């Protein structure tokens, strides 16, 4: 793929938003996809949704290739994602119908089940794509998420999700040495959209229709890309910018702005992703009260991180300012 990308001149060229300073081959996602397909055909997994997963992933790969080669407008990519999600939802008959609430009762989504499923698939697909800003970042975060999903699936005896997740982990790990800093090849939108799509579907298969706790687990596993995407939307709304317009205020940008190197920022985000994944495992195994307490701690940590690196705005620091005020009051009292 490195040689093919260079020969066909399918390269990611530097600009003011990007951190690399030279042309980089960009069809690494196709290498991940081909490896994934070969492995899947060798293992021949059986599941009612398997054909829909393969057809939907092929469609999203085509969208990514066209975007990497020719460039697509945001609304054109969105249409492609909607069509790929439609294949899985209707051909594979997968949707989030209900969740059991932690203190009793069941919340049925009714007519909202299909829109919620669309929102999840498209949201996670774009979340993985949005964090693909540093060498090895999106690939490494995806590996951490997929290992967590496969571990959960193993505990739940969901052999299909367990197998597909591990196969994809192997495909990404084969690619990561060439993508890690300094990268010899990027996965491009081809890889980022494909990984996001598969991760969204596997998390739906593994955790749908169970409990509120299980509903939160995939959100925790994907805590970094989901929170980064959500904050990007908030940030653009606050600054009155189009939601689809890129900026340089994602988590990896903010970390580098406050002094971290390229490699340090990637490793730190790996660590944060691993903490989210670990919290998801603990969250699924503890009591309801313990789960809610852990969720509070995770959200508190996330808020501190947001304020410290300036993910929303450099002046948005309510908790840090509160700590400063308390410290000033204590010093005065002394």
Binding-site sequence positions: 129, 189
Whether 118 contacts 85, CB under 8 Å: yes
Count CA atoms within 13 Å of residue 215 on its CB side. 19
Binding residue positions for Mg(2+) = 129, 189
Respond yes or no on whether the N-terminal peptide bond of residue 182 is cis (omega within 30° of 0). Answer: yes
Provide DSSP, 81-138: HHHHHHIIIIITT----EEE-TTS-EEE-GGGHHHHHHHHHHHHHHHHHHTTTSTTHH
Alpha-carbon gap, residue 304 to 310, rounded angstroms: 10
Residue among 227, 244, 211, 245 nearest 312 (CA): 227
And the tokens for 169? 């982990």
Distance from the Cα of residue 320 to its chain's centroid: 28
Residue among 182, 168, 163 nearest 37 (CA): 168
Provide DSSP, 252-270: HHHHHHTT--HHHHHHHHH
**CA-atom Rg of the chain in angstroms:** 20
And the tokens for 211? 């409990």
- 228, with CB counted inside 10 A (0-12, 13-18, 19+), is buried
And the tokens for 66? 């066209």
Residue among 193, 196, 227, 202 nearest 309 (CA): 227
């Amino acid at each position: 793929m490195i040689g093919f990308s260079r020969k066909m001149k399918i390269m990611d060229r530097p600009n003011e938003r990007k951190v690399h300073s030279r042309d980089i081959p960009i069809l690494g996602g196709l290498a991940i996809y081909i490896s994934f397909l070969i492995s899947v055909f060798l293992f021949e997994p059986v599941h009612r949704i398997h054909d829909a997963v393969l057809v939907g992933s092929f469609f999203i790969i085509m969208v990514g290739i066209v975007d990497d080669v020719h460039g697509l407008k945001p609304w054109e990519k969105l249409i492609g994602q909607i069509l790929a999600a439609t294949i899985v939802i209707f051909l594979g008959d997968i949707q989030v119908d209900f969740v059991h609430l932690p203190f009793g009762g069941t919340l049925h989504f009714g007519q909202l089940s299909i829109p919620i499923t669309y929102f999840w698939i498209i949201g996670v697909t774009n979340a993985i794509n949005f964090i693909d800003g540093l060498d090895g970042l999106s690939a490494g975060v995806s590996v951490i998420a997929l290992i967590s999903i496969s571990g959960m699936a193993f505990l739940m005896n969901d052999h299909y999700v367990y197998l597909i997740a591990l196969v994809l982990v192997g495909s990404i790990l084969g690619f990561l040495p060439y993508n890690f800093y300094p990268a010899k090849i990027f996965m491009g939108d081809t890889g980022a959209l494909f990984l996001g799509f598969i991760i969204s579907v596997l998390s739906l298969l593994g955790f749908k229709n169970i409990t509120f706790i299980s509903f939160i687990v995939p959100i925790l596993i994907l805590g970094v890309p989901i929170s980064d995407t959500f904050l990007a939307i908030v940030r653009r709304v606050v600054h009155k910018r189009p939601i689809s317009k890129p900026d340089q205020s994602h988590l990896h940008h903010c970390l580098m702005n406050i002094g971290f190197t390229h490699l340090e920022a990637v490793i730190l985000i790996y660590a944060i992703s691993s903490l989210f994944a670990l919290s998801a495992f603990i969250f699924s195994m503890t009591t309801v009260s313990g789960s809610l307490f852990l969720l509070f701690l995770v959200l508190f940590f996330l808020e501190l991180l947001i304020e410290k690196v300036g993910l929303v705005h450099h002046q948005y620091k309510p908790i840090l300012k509160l700590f400063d005020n308390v410290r000033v009051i204590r010093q005065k009292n002394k």
